[in-house]
Amino acid sequence: MNPYASFLGDQKPLPVIAETPARLRTLLETLGDEGLECSPGPAKWSARQILCHLADCEIAFAFRLRQALAEDHYVIQPFDQDGWARSYGAYGAREAWGVFAALRQWNLRLIESLPPSALSKRLTHPERGDMTYQTVIDTMAGHDLNHLGQLERIVAQAAK
């Protein structure tokens, strides 16, 4: 089960993945420094923390995409997002965006270079079961859309 598939709907993943850095940049600039500390509610991440999370996830996706190609029967290493989030006070939103944007471009080039046969390569996620390489790409896009939606709601909330 891919929990992010519902966010993707019938959209193609590669355009979503390619457009996310620019969409994030627009949201970052719209929020400004003060708005980046806004969160959608109690115990929810601020916009800055969401950007930090996206940068961390892009690091994880970069490793997963490459290991899945390098290994047969690759088993994805899950990570504790809340544990990783403990360090987010050390990072600024713009530097998080810079890390995300650079790694996303790198990951996109890898994905675009692959032969179609690579997309059906099998791998396993310990919490989500068997999947294909394409599922990882779909997850990236759905994950983007989930967090873009959160940031858009923060922008709308800050505009009130």
DSSP string, 82-131: HHHHTTGGG--HHHHHHHHHHHHHHHHHHHHHS-GGGGG-EEEETTTEEE
Other CB atoms within 10 Å distance of the CB of residue 6: 10
Neighbours of 18 (CB within 10 A): 15
**So what's the pLDDT on residue 129?**
87
pLDDT attached to residue 1: 58
Per-residue pLDDT of the chain (160 residues; tens, 9 = 90+): 577 878 898 999 999 999 999 999 999 999 999 999 999 888 899 999 999 999 999 999 999 999 999 999 999 999 999 999 999 999 999 999 999 999 999 999 999 999 999 999 999 999 888 999 999 999 999 999 999 999 999 999 988 7
Contact call for residues 50 and 38 (beta carbons, < 8 A): no
Tell me what pLDDT residue 2 has: 74
Specify the pLDDT at position 62. 97
- Would the pTM count as exceeding 0.85? yes
Q: What domains, with CATH codes, occur in the chain?
A: 5-159 (1.20.120.450)
